[in-house]
């Protein structure tokens, strides 16, 4: 491992990219501790403490998970990068139903830049709407707003909306810089850094509970074992593939004859990654955001938000169904069987035993459907796993934050970003004739 680290820093370009990425993540963590103007830190801490003891405790912890602790501190990055992710998912879905966006997607780099610009505009719009809801929710709690702004709700909302929106736009820009000048996956690395930064704090809370006698040490060791088992299955599922064999016919180009070539199309067991979970999380939090905007005027909306809070059985049921539904939908958005069959036919490729054209489309559709069944059910189980764990009497002593960090969405994000980052560094090392993380492991297997 030490030799691998030395190889990484021997390459000037790779060393600069890694240091640049680390510098950007440090800036992100600094901004996650700068409180928004007009907020009383003492009053905010008391409000969060009282909410954590009520029905909204799980919801606050779940939202704060993606913001890296910035939401509970109500900092410049209180909404994190989630508005950008929501906007990008919406744009990708719209490309299947809006002809103009579909055409832009096929225009190469120029079309990609235009779609990226639409994502930026959508991010600002989504962030502004969410910031308005949060500002009204914060203002409704006495003692949280600073004395100078009490009695001026419109001015307070203006400050909060402009500050939080600017913070999210800055994070969006920071993620793009990491993608272009760093080691890639900028937005994913920002989410990763926010989640990973909370692990030591939540871990120490559980250790403190064990020392005080509030949590059984045997249960603590058992939950660590369960965490290790979940990590194993998540890695196994992330790397699992269904390889469809493809054969290309012999071609004659000029005076040269190219022989037939055998290859395969790799379909992951979970082809959509964590996108269905993230989008389902955004959807299931909509009632809570509406309740924040309406305040206490409509008790039915507030009651619905309570039912759909993490830890409640309606939330577990609805959340799991949304994950499965979005997994199916997004799989066929990303992998269109019609396009795959047309591209194979155009390039002279075919699946052995399957006729090109309509039969290939039907075969691809059937394969994707079977893969998605297993992948979506696994995603739903992992997504609701922390809430099911908290239902067991032995584990009720752990905090919701620790449960969500040790399983569910956060674990999927951490593992998937880890694997993608390793592959990015691996490609840089192999390109310069150095052994990487994965290549060395393969050599040991061969020996």
CATH value at residue 40:
1.10.3370.10
Verdict on whether the full-model pTM lies above 0.85: no
d(CA 331, CA 338) in angstroms, rounded, equals 13
* Strand 251-253 with 256-258, pairing: antiparallel
Question: How many alpha carbons fall within 13 Å on the CB side of residue 385?
Answer: 26
d(CA 243, CA 378) in angstroms, rounded, equals 20
Domain count, the chain: 1
d(CA 41, CA 179) in angstroms, rounded, equals 34
> What is the DSSP code (8-state) at residue 438?
H
d(CA 336, CA 330) in angstroms, rounded, equals 10
Residue 40, judged by CB atoms within 10 A of its CB (0-12, 13-18, 19+), counts as middle
**What string of pLDDT tens digits covers the 447 residues of the chain?**
566 677 777 778 888 888 899 999 999 999 888 888 888 888 888 887 777 665 555 567 667 777 777 888 888 888 888 888 888 878 877 887 888 888 887 777 788 888 889 999 999 998 888 888 888 888 877 888 877 777 788 888 898 899 999 999 999 999 889 988 888 788 888 888 888 888 888 888 888 888 887 788 888 888 888 888 888 888 888 778 888 888 876 665 656 655 566 778 888 887 777 778 777 877 777 666 666 556 556 666 667 767 777 777 888 888 888 888 888 887 877 777 888 888 888 877 888 888 888 888 888 888 888 888 888 888 888 888 888 888 888 887 777 777 777 767 778 888 888 888 887 777 777 776 655 555 555 454 444
Residue-number span of the structural domain to which 267 is assigned:
2-446
Q: Which residues of 307-319 are buried (b: 16+ CB within 10 A; e: fewer)?
A: ebbbbbeebbebb
């Amino acid at each position: 491992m030490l030799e691998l680290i030395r190889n990484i820093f021997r390459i000037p370009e790779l060393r600069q990219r890694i240091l640049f990425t680390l510098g950007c993540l440090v800036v992100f963590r600094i901004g996650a501790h700068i409180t928004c103007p007009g907020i009383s830190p003492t009053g905010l801490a008391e409000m969060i403490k009282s909410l954590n003891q009520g029905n909204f405790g799980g919801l606050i912890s779940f939202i704060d998970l993606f913001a890296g602790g910035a939401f509970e501190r109500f900092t410049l990055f209180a909404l994190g990068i989630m508005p950008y992710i929501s906007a990008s998912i919406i744009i990708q879905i719209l490309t299947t139903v809006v002809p103009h966006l579909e055409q832009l997607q096929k225009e190469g780099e120029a079309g990609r830049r235009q779609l990226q610009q639409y994502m930026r505009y959508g991010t600002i719009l989504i962030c502004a709407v969410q910031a308005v809801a949060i500002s009204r929710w914060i203002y409704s709690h006495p003692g949280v707003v600073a004395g100078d702004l009490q009695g001026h709700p419109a001015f307070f909302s203006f400050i909060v909306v402009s500050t939080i929106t600017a913070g999210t736009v800055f994070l969006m820009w920071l993620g793009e810089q990491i993608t272009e000048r760093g080691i890639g996956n900028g937005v994913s690395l920002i989410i990763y850094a926010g989640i990973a930064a909370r692990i030591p704090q939540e871990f120490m809370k559980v250790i403190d509970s064990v020392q005080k006698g509030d949590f059984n040490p045997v249960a603590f060791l058992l939950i660590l074992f369960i965490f290790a088992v979940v990590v194993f299955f998540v890695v196994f599922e992330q790397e699992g593939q269904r390889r469809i064999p493809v054969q290309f016919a012999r071609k004659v180009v000029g005076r040269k004859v190219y022989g037939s070539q055998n290859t395969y199309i790799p379909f992951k067991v979970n082809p959509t990654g964590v996108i269905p979970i993230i989008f389902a999380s955004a959807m299931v939090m909509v009632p809570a955001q509406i309740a924040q905007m309406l305040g206490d005027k409509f008790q039915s909306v507030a009651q619905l938000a309570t039912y759909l809070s993490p830890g409640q059985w309606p939330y577990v049921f609805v959340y799991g169904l949304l994950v499965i539904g979005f997994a199916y939908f997004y799989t066929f958005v990303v992998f269109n069987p019609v396009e795959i069959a047309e591209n194979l036919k155009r390039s002279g490729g075919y699946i052995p035993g399957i006729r090109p054209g309509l039969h290939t489309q039907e075969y691809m559709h059937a394969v994707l459907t079977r893969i998605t069944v297993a992948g979506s059910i696994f995603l739903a189980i992992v997504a609701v796993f922390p809430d099911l764990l908290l239902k067991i009497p032995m584990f009720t002593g752990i905090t919701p934050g620790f449960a969500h960090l040790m399983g569910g969405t956060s674990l999927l994000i951490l593992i998937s970003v880890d694997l993608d980052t390793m592959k990015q560094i691996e490609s840089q090392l192999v390109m310069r004739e150095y052994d990487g993380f994965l290549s060395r492991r393969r050599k040991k297997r061969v020996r």
